[in-house]
Amino acid sequence: MRRVRAHLLVLGGTTEARALATALADAPPRVTSSLAGRVAEPRLPVGDVRIGGFGGPDGLAAWLRAERVDAVVDATHPFAAVMSRNAALAAAATGVPLLALRRPGWTRVDGDRWHPVESLEAAAAVLPGLGRRVFLTTGRQGIGAFAHLDGLHFLARSVDPPEPPMPAALDVLLDRGPFTLDGERALLREHRIDVVVTKDSGGAATAPKLTAARELGLPVVVVERPAVPKGVPVAESVPAALDWLAARGLTLR
């Protein structure tokens, strides 16, 4: 039987993944967006959505074959390193072309007091020397890395409530971006924050905390990104990803 439309799998969970699904809503290829299922009420992309893990690289490879996928765009969060590695392995095993869609990381500007670290554990190690009241914005899954820091007070912001292990002195703020500069300024002042911890997620939605911290002269511990798996091409924007698809004859542009 003749195939009328190519099939694209978008590994999602990000603003860019939703934007890509929207951009392709009315034209080839057919898009299936995949979510891990971590968030209780996720913002769903337009079009077909599947939710839950594939069962490692072999499970993903089997899914790509069964669903006759023509290309994969890994638009997961820059810190979703396991999924990105699995995608690279499954693409290599099946020969399905893979693109990583990664928004650029943030850039330090004059006045920033950034402390770059390689991991959440390294962030926890430097914190006691930087402040006592910590604004933790690394997501609920990372909170355990700070659980042993008894002398510090944490305000953690996450979409869903964190689970143990957690620091003893912890206030949780359930919220999801985009955030505003006015809001971030008020939050840092109201909670008398003296140090901020963030992943280098990049993007506009959560950047205002960096500006607010700069204005208030606060140190920011910035967890650096894991590398994109070797050999996987990277697009830094949705238009660049559309160009990659067009170059493979998968879109009409």
Answer yes or no whether residue 8 interacts with ligand NAP by CB under 6 A: no
Which residue from 5, 44, 56, 161 is in contact with ligand NAP, where contact means CB under 6 A?
56
Q: Scan for tokens 């990372």, then name that residue.
A: 142
Which residue from 15, 32, 34, 137 is in contact with ligand NAP, where contact means CB under 6 A?
34
Helix ranges, 95-223 (H)? 120-126, 181-190, 208-216
Residue nearest to ligand NAP (CB): 53
| Window contacting ligand NAP (CB under 6 A); options: 32-40, 115-123, 185-193, 215-223 | 32-40
> Which residue, 79 or 179, is less far from ligand NAP as judged by CB?
79
Which residue from 49, 62, 82, 234 is in contact with ligand NAP, where contact means CB under 6 A?
82
Interface of this chain with ligand NAP, residues 194 to 213, rule: CB under 6 A: 199
Q: How many residues bind ligand NAP (CB under 6 A)?
A: 25
Amino acid at 245: L
Task: For the CB of residue 232, give the shortest distance to ligand NAP in the complex, in Å.
Answer: 14
Task: For the CB of residue 114, give the shortest distance to ligand NAP in the complex, in Å.
Answer: 18
- Both tokens of 128, joined, read 């006691």
Q: Residue 210: left (phi > 0), alpha (psi -120 to 50), or beta? A: alpha
Nearest to 30 by CA among 70, 83, 87: 70
Nearest 5 degrees, angle CA 112-CA 155-CA 209?
30
Q: CB under 8 Å to 28, separation ≥6 — which residues?
A: 5, 6, 250, 251, 252
- Both tokens of 23, joined, read 């951009």
> Which residue, 28 or 226, is less far from ligand NAP as judged by CB?
226
| Window contacting ligand NAP (CB under 6 A); options: 33-41, 65-73, 108-116, 188-196 | 33-41
Distance CA 196, CA 211 (A): 11
Q: Scan for tokens 């996987």, then name that residue.
A: 232
Here's the x/- map for ligand NAP, 112-151, by CB under 6 A: it reads as ---------------------------x-x----------
Distance CA 252, CA 24 (A): 10
- Both tokens of 149, joined, read 């820091």
Task: For the CB of residue 11, give the shortest distance to ligand NAP in the complex, in Å.
Answer: 4
- Both tokens of 6, joined, read 């190519």
Answer yes or no whether residue 11 interacts with ligand NAP by CB under 6 A: yes
Sites of contact with ligand NAP (CB under 6 A): 11-14, 34-36, 38, 53-56, 59-60, 76-77, 79-83, 86, 139, 141, 199
